[in-house]
Amino acid sequence: MLDRMVLDSTGSARAPVASANTRLAYDAIRESIGTGDFAPGAWLRESSVAATLGLSRTPVREALRMLATEGVVELVPNRGARVVRWTAADIDEVYRLRGLLEGHAAALAARNASGDQIAEIRALEERYERAVELHESGDGMSARCNNAFHAAVLAASGSPRLEVLLDLISSAHLVTQALQHYSDDDRRRSILQHRDIVTAIQNHDESLAESAMRSHILAARYTAMRLARIDEEPAAR
């Protein structure tokens, strides 16, 4: 999130400098990209986005510039902003980076999580499991439950640096799309992997937590990569 704590070169926290309206525009655009409302390749017209959000064009323009620095949108000279298209190679890299960072976050969570945080992680895993078993993916419920689970593990790590780094790897829309195309085997695998992560954290097993989270993310990347290749096919013809 744009209003998150930012770390300077010394590792000290400093306040964000964006205006409230810029934060609002940033969050709204990023959420719409994450849910797929703004599809890869879609043009984001400042005037249209500003009118939809009830804002002037200035905060929308600033929000688009910030999203461009994160690689979520691209700024095309004399044409405007466009949602970035992810190739299979892009997705592979992002998921591998997520595996490293979230694996470390899970290890820290196993070391640092309080009893209340462990209970929350367990409850979120059970909620995700119910959503998956009911095939509630078309409305985005399983994706929201999955995101909440991963966010809780990250929060339990106690590392603001990891939060900032992972926020820069904006792959929420990839996760949402991948979950919507999960096979029954994918769903069963995901549930079992979430259970392994919970088991590791509640038993304070750092090495298991790290390996379980990394395996979970690396296995999930194949569905996202397959979808990217399907999207690439028309351009290749």
List the domains of the chain with CATH numbers: 6-83 (1.10.10.10), 88-236 (1.20.120.530)
Q: How many Å is the Cα radius of gyration of the chain?
A: 18
Amino acid at 53: L
Distance CA 149, CA 162 (A): 16
Q: Which range (12-21, 28-37, 92-101, 115-124) has the least confidence?
A: 12-21
Note the pLDDT of residue 3.
42
Between 26 and 6, the higher pLDDT residue: 26
Q: Which tokens hold the place of 27?
A: 């969050």
Sign of the four-CA dihedral 27, 30, 34, 35: positive
**In whole numbers, what is the pLDDT of the chain averaged over residues?**
84
Note the pLDDT of residue 98.
93
Residue 228 has pLDDT above 50, yes or no: yes
Do residues 177 and 36 touch, judged by C-beta distance below 8 A?
yes
Q: Which tokens hold the place of 40?
A: 């890869």
Q: Which range (28-37, 47-56, 93-102) has the least confidence?
A: 28-37
User: DSSP letter string over 1-57?
Assistant: -TTS-EE-TTS-EE-----HHHHHHHHHHHHHHHHTSS-TT-EE-HHHHHHHHT--H
Angle (CA) 99 169 209, round 5°: 25
Q: N- to C-terminal Cα distance for the chain?
A: 38
When pLDDT is averaged across residues 35-45 and rounded to a whole number, the result is 85
Note the pLDDT of residue 14.
38
Burial 195-219 (b: 16+ CB within 10 A, else e): ebbbbbbbeebbebbbbbbbbbbbe
Distance CA 54, CA 57 (A): 10
Q: Which tokens hold the place of 195?
A: 């259970």
pLDDT in tens, 141-179: 887 898 899 999 999 999 999 988 887 776 666 666 666
pLDDT in tens, 180-193: 677 778 888 999 99
Note the pLDDT of residue 224.
79
Note the pLDDT of residue 170.
61
Percent of the chain with pLDDT over 70: 81
Percent of the chain with pLDDT over 90: 51
Q: Give residues with Cβ within 8 angstroms of 52, minimum separation 6.
A: none
Distance CA 232, CA 3 (A): 34
Distance CA 1, CA 29 (A): 11
Residue 5 has pLDDT above 50, yes or no: no
Nearest of 126, 140, 138, 125 to residue 31 by alpha carbon: 140
When pLDDT is averaged across residues 16-26 and rounded to a whole number, the result is 81
Residue 11 has pLDDT above 70, yes or no: no
